[in-house]
Amino acid sequence: MEIELVSRETIKPSSPTPPHLRIYPFSFIDNILVCVVPLIFFYNPNDNNDQNSKISQLKKSLSLVLSKYYCFAGRFKDNITIECNDQGVPLLVTKIKNKLSEILQNPTENLLNPLFPDELQWTDTDKTAALISIQINCFECGGIAISICISHKCGDAATLFNFMNDWSSINKKLEEKEEGLLILPFSLLDGGTTIFSQKNLPIVPETVHMREKSVVCKRIVFQPSMIKFLKEMATSSSIHSPTRVQVVIAWIYKHVVSAMGLNLKTVPFSIAVDLRKRMIPPLSEKSVGNLIWFLTTFPDKEEMEVKDLVCKIKEGLSEFCNVCPKLFGGRDEDSLSSIHEFLKKITEPKTKKGTVINFTSWCNFPIYEADFGWGKPTWVTTYRCSWKNLIILMDTSDRNGVVANVNLEENVMAKFEHEVELLQLASLNPTNVGQSSGL
């Protein structure tokens, strides 16, 4: 693939951040997170293939949306705060002498890597650098791919998708020449910084992630017919309506542990849970920050069927929702002490905790809503992560299937991908993504 860097510049907010918003404190959940999360959105060519005008407009709309997400344009002041000094975010523009379809037909790691800014994907946050970086990739056919790398300290997946959707909405209004676009800064404190304030909590060390060179990533697509089969497999007298995410997590977990040559009783699994709708009262879906917590489940048997694992997930989630929102909602000394113990527990090095299979689901988020005025993306994906045993779930473009980005050590992956049942239930590293495959 021939790729040329056309420009690199810094985009600053269209309006200066007011003095009273200059210091943005992290929540105690923000504090423990360290990685840079990558996403890339692919757009097919449309009737308006003037890429230069599109880039000019993207810069203007990015400047406008940064006045809303003003902390993203700041820099670290120290380990627990951002100085919202409007320094801006790096924006790279490239030209690629290939057609977009060539990438979508076979999206290998080698082809995807240069589409991200400065190879920041899943690296540790550099506290001397910008909090987000963006790259606009222009293909010869007129197609565009927009990638973003964001420090996890700024927010979770919901925050990232909200940012992309707000940016695209402003850009679309510019394209349609709508009036009333001025976006003034406003407080982003309706989120993690107020709900999960650091207050007097001791600062807990950032989460330790063991990166391994031997980790490989495979993309597994569960189409609706296969999910229906898994739901039927998981339905029992105690489980009447398992969700597609629950059945996919249960199935993958069971088979990953088998590929490791271990048993379920010795390998717990962890699921990141969005707290927005589970807090009392519920928070806005637009709340900024890391509003997630981790449900860890310990199976009590060496071998379990998918339906039993789904039951375990549902029981754990029910208990989680009864305890965590109440705990996090408290601000007395006992609550703060309990929160701190939770934090210390989950940030212990993996070598002390043993093997854990980690799941994070981005399903049901508005992944495919970012329409910049050229239509919705044909494909949205992330990138290989070098943390072993991390599985990221995403929607297919029709919102009915599930894509699992599975990151495992090479020897474990070799066994996992040859599971007979996997080959019957899902497509492994499918080609023609964004086309007829449902992606």
pLDDT tens by residue, 254-277: 999 999 999 999 999 999 999 888
Question: What's the chain's average pLDDT?
Answer: 87
Best CATH choice for the domain 215-428 from the list 3.40.50.150, 3.30.559.10, 3.40.630.10, 3.30.930.10: 3.30.559.10
Model confidence pLDDT, tens digit, residues 372-394: 999 999 999 999 998 899 999 99
Model confidence pLDDT, tens digit, residues 34-92: 899 999 999 999 877 789 999 999 999 999 999 999 999 999 999 889 999 999 999 99
> What is the average per-residue pLDDT within 132-160?
96
pLDDT band of 182, cuts 50, 70, 90? low
Of 102-106, 189-193, 262-266, the least confident: 189-193
pLDDT of residue 419: 81
Query: In whole angstroms, how far apart are CA 311 and each of 241, 318, 323, 348?
Result: 11, 11, 19, 28
Kindly tell me if the per-residue pLDDT of 343 is higher than 90: no
Residues that are catalytic: 152, 371
pLDDT band of 279, cuts 50, 70, 90? confident
Question: How far apart (Å, rounded) are the C-alpha atoms in residues 9 and 12?
Answer: 10
The CA-based angle 196-202-205, given to 5 degrees, is 90
pLDDT of residue 351: 34
Beta bridge partners of 270: 296, 358
Q: Where are the domains of the chain?
A: 3-195, 215-428
Buried b (16+ CB within 10 A) or exposed e, 59-73: bebbbbbbbbbbbbb
Whole-number percent of the chain with pLDDT over 70: 87
> What is the average per-residue pLDDT within 305-329?
85
Taking phi over 0 as left and psi of -120 to 50 as alpha, with beta for the rest, 389 belongs to left
SS (H, E, C) 277-311: HHCCCCCCCCCECCCEEEEEECCCCCCCCHHHHHH
Whole-number percent of the chain with pLDDT over 90: 64
- Position with higher pLDDT, 354 vs 160: 160
Helix and strand element counts for the chain (H, E): 13, 16
pLDDT of residue 123: 92
Fold of domain 3-195: Chloramphenicol Acetyltransferase (3.30.559)
Query: In whole angstroms, how far apart are CA 409 and each of 128, 164, 302, 390?
Result: 31, 32, 22, 10
